[in-house]
């Protein structure tokens, strides 16, 4: 068999390509099976109808794992995806509400807020007062409170910036929990 390329920058060395005199062998679950020669480790892997995969060659002696190659590739792929997700920057999404929003529209907005928070993005809620609406600020505070309470109760997010009025605009900001 040969070295299999699973990713342009990740080469996986396995089976006969592992040419070290001694290797530290791990089971599929990561338990140490001890230090043995490469040939012994390969024979043991073939007995179990699995592959011998090089995990790291920097260690003394190099570390190999007895595991199905496809499973090892899958685990690597999952680990890289998790790392990419962790390194992802947090976006700020803005949702605009209106003073007298309909029940269906409010439900749709709440659903979008939950989706954004689950994706790990911050959410800014804003409401632009039109005409004489600014005289009824308490309705806006009630609207924001209902939205925020639902998000906090479901433990999807926390309030980063409490609702406040700046000029003719009311704003609040939520962060993922």
Q: Where are the domains of the chain?
A: 4-86, 92-176
pLDDT score at 9: 54
Asked if 145 and 137 touch (Cβ cutoff 8 Å), the reply is: no
For residue 10, the model assigns a pLDDT of: 66
Give the C-alpha separation, 177 to 175, whole Å. Answer: 6
Contact 174, 123 (CB under 8 A): yes
Domain covering 4-86, topology? Ubiquitin-like (UB roll) (3.10.20)
Contact (CB, 8 A) for 147 and 110: yes
Q: Which fold has domain 92-176?
A: Translation Initiation Factor IF3 (3.30.110)
- Provide the pLDDT for residue 139: 92
DSSP conformation class of 156: S
Radius of gyration from C-alpha coordinates of the chain: 28
What is the arithmetic mean of pLDDT over 73-102? 86
On whether the CB atoms of residues 126 and 97 are closer than 8 A, the answer is yes
Mean pLDDT of 144-159: 92
Strand order in the sheet with 157-166: 92-97, 122-128, 169-176, 157-166
Query: What integer is the mean pLDDT of 134-139?
Result: 91
Q: Say if residues 64 and 44 touch (Cβ distance below 8 Å).
A: no
Beta bridge partners of 122: 92
pTM of the model: 0.53
Q: How far apart are CA 125 and CA 129, in angstroms?
A: 13
Say yes or no: do domains 4-86 and 92-176 share a fold.
no
């Amino acid at each position: 068999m040969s070295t299999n390329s699973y990713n342009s920058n990740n080469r996986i060395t396995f089976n006969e390509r592992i040419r070290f005199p001694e290797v530290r062998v791990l089971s599929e679950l990561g338990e140490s099976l001890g230090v043995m020669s490469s040939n012994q480790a390969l024979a043991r892997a073939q007995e179990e109808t699995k592959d011998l995969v090089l995990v790291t060659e920097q260690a003394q002696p190099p570390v190999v794992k007895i595991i199905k190659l496809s499973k090892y590739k899958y685990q690597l792929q999952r680990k890289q995806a998790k790392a990419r997700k962790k390194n992802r920057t947090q976006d700020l999404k803005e949702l605009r509400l209106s003073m007298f929003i309909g029940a269906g529209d409010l439900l749709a907005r709440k659903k979008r807020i939950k989706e954004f928070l689950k994706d790990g993005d911050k959410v800014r809620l804003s409401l632009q007062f039109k005409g004489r609406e600014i005289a009824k600020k308490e309705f806006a505070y009630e609207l924001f409170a209902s939205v925020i309470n639902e998000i906090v109760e479901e433990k999807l997010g926390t309030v980063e910036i409490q609702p406040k009025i700046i000029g003719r605009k009311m704003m609040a900001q939520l962060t993922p929990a």
